[in-house]
């Protein structure tokens, strides 16, 4: 179901109903990309009055801005240029930069290559002896699975890769291999110095090679050596496919001349980003931020990704002096962006063909993703189904940015960041109520 420009969908249409797959997964999903409205200009005084009337008032330091997408007119502004910790709303900026950097439909491949000398000639002595050296090469697929999933979209799996590699090896007369793994696509530290050790349950050590985000076979803890773990899983799958794997996997960079045996491609980049944004996936976003860095000509590291993000935000007119980027996912408490930066980035995204897919990649109030269980209280239900926004939460930090279709059919871009808030639930309630106040607005001047 798609919202129209002339009506506000009734809240009862969005009662929670189970979905077959996907994070969040309640109620109506798949909103239309917003188009600039053609209604009369909005009255900023009416919008501001509705937001300021939310009771109790927001506690903490607020940075907020609302802008009419069609006209660019500012409808509400409170501390909009104050640099604040955005929490996971930083993922929005990373996502916009990613879509700006790579072509639509881009996929990232995980490969198996043959690295022994006999690879150039299957009839050579190594092949005749039935043995070979192979390397599992990580391509930075954040959602590479150990086994295929029946859900949509289809994510790549090492099981399918192992079956293809085993078939190729047997065709070359090889039944025994030594296995290496190559995770050198990404550089620099795999753990951000701004992340305390306690974040190990929130984010995996970043690698261009892992399976199930470093938690295969239903493991509850995240691996600190996810590339090695992926190679071990792959080795077991090769054995099950009839290939003997000698010894234990070791790290080694595959030579450029190595011949490819098999490969699996990730889901398209838009699907990868959608899953990361819906579930606010820190680990996957960090991987995607490195893909963005590579596509932008920067090193695939924390520093390179931060430089690439600044590069893209500057190009689209969203960067502001005083901003600080420490990671791509927003876990660092030292990140600093303003509501204006988020609003400018959102307006670029929604009005630019290369990035407009972002409109449908974020949670929907009361419906999907990290907003599926919000917008349910008194004064909040007006926003259900018409607020499309990314959440952000750290201790003392709550944020929400995105777009909303109002009762009079206009699209309003909003960014609201609360820092130093003493109560996360109260902060969420204020944000949800403020957004719903705008959603229900017939605010024509």
Residue 444 covered by a domain: no
3-state secondary structure 43-86: CHHHHHHHHHCCCCCCCCEEEEEEEECCCCCEEEEECCCCCECC
Same domain, 194 and 236: yes
The CA distance from 183 to 154, in Å, is 23
Residue 3 covered by a domain: no
Q: Which residues of the chain have pLDDT under 70?
A: 1-39, 118-129
Same domain, 165 and 88: no
- Whether the pTM exceeds 0.85: the reply is yes
Say if residues 401 and 386 touch (Cβ distance below 8 Å).
no
Alpha-helical segments (H) within 338-402:
339-350
pLDDT at position 57: 92
pLDDT at position 129: 62
Same domain, 329 and 393: yes
Same domain, 160 and 303: no
Same domain, 303 and 389: yes
At residue 73's C-alpha, the angle toward residues 48 and 420, to 5°, is 50
The CA distance from 107 to 93, in Å, is 20
Residue ranges making up the domain that contains 360: 23-104+271-439
**Ordered strands of the 387-394 beta sheet:** 74-78, 61-68, 411-419, 397-405, 387-394
Three-class SS of residue 351?
Answer: coil
Among candidate residues 78, 82, 76, 60, the one with its CA nearest the CA of residue 341: 82
Residue 379 covered by a domain: yes
Residue 188 covered by a domain: yes
pLDDT at position 220: 78
Three-class SS of residue 178?
Answer: strand
pLDDT at position 24: 37
The CA distance from 234 to 262, in Å, is 13
Q: Residue 18 — φ and ψ, nearest 5°?
A: -65, 150
CATH number at residue 280: 3.40.710.10
The CA distance from 146 to 10, in Å, is 42
Same domain, 161 and 40: no
Alpha-helical segments (H) within 140-205:
158-171
Same domain, 123 and 205: yes
Residue 2 covered by a domain: no
Q: How many domains does the chain have?
A: 2
pLDDT at position 216: 82
Give the residue from 212, 232, 267 where a domain finishes. 267
Same domain, 319 and 176: no
Say if residues 141 and 110 touch (Cβ distance below 8 Å).
yes
Which contiguous run of DSSP H or E holds residue 253? none
Residue 45 covered by a domain: yes
Same domain, 132 and 202: yes
């Amino acid at each position: 179901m798609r919202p129209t420009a002339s009506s506000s969908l009734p809240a009862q249409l969005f009662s929670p109903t189970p979905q077959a797959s996907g994070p969040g997964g309640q109620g109506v999903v798949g909103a239309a990309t917003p188009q600039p409205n053609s209604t009369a200009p909005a009255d900023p005084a009416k919008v501001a009055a509705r937001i300021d009337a939310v009771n109790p008032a927001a506690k903490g330091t607020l940075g907020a801005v609302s802008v009419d997408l069609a006209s660019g007119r500012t409808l509400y502004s409170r501390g909009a240029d104050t640099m604040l910790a955005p929490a996971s709303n930083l993922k929005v900026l990373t996502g916009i930069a990613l879509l700006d950097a790579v072509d639509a439909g881009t996929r990232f491949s995980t490969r198996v290559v043959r690295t022994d000398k006999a690879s150039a000639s299957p009839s050579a002595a190594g092949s005749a002896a039935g043995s070979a050296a192979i390397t599992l090469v990580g391509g930075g697929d954040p959602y590479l699975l150990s086994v295929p999933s029946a859900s949509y979209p289809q994510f790549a799996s090492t099981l399918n890769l192992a079956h293809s590699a085993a078939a190729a090896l047997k065709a070359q007369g090889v039944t025994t291999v030594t296995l290496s793994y190559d995770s050198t696509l990404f550089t620099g530290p795999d753990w951000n110095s701004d992340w305390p050790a306690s974040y190990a349950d929130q984010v995996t050590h970043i690698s261009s090679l892992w399976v199930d985000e470093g938690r295969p076979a239903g493991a509850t803890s995240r691996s600190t050596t996810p590339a090695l773990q992926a190679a071990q899983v792959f080795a077991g799958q090769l054995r099950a496919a009839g290939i003997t794997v000698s010894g234990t996997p070791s790290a080694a960079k595959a030579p450029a001349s190595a011949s490819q045996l098999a490969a699996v491609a990730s889901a398209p980049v838009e699907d990868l980003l959608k899953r990361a944004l819906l579930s606010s996936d820190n680990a996957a976003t960090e991987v995607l931020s490195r893909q963005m860095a590579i596509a932008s000509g920067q090193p695939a590291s924390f520093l390179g990704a931060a430089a690439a993000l600044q590069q893209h935000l500057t190009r689209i007119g969203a960067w502001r002096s005083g901003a600080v980027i420490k990671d791509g996912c927003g876990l660092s408490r030292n990140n600093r962006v303003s509501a204006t930066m988020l609003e400018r980035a959102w307006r670029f995204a929604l009005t630019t063909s290369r990035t407009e897919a972002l409109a449908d990649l974020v949670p929907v109030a009361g419906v999907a993703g990290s907003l599926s269980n919000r917008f349910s209280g008194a004064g909040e239900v007006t926003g259900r189904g018409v607020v499309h926004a990314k959440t952000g939460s750290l201790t003392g930090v709550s944020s929400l940015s995105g777009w909303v279709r109002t009762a009079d059919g206009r699209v309003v871009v909003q960014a609201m960041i609360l820092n130093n808030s003493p109560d996360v639930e109260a902060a969420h309630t204020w944000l949800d109520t403020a957004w719903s106040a705008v959603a229900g607005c017939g605010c024509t001047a």
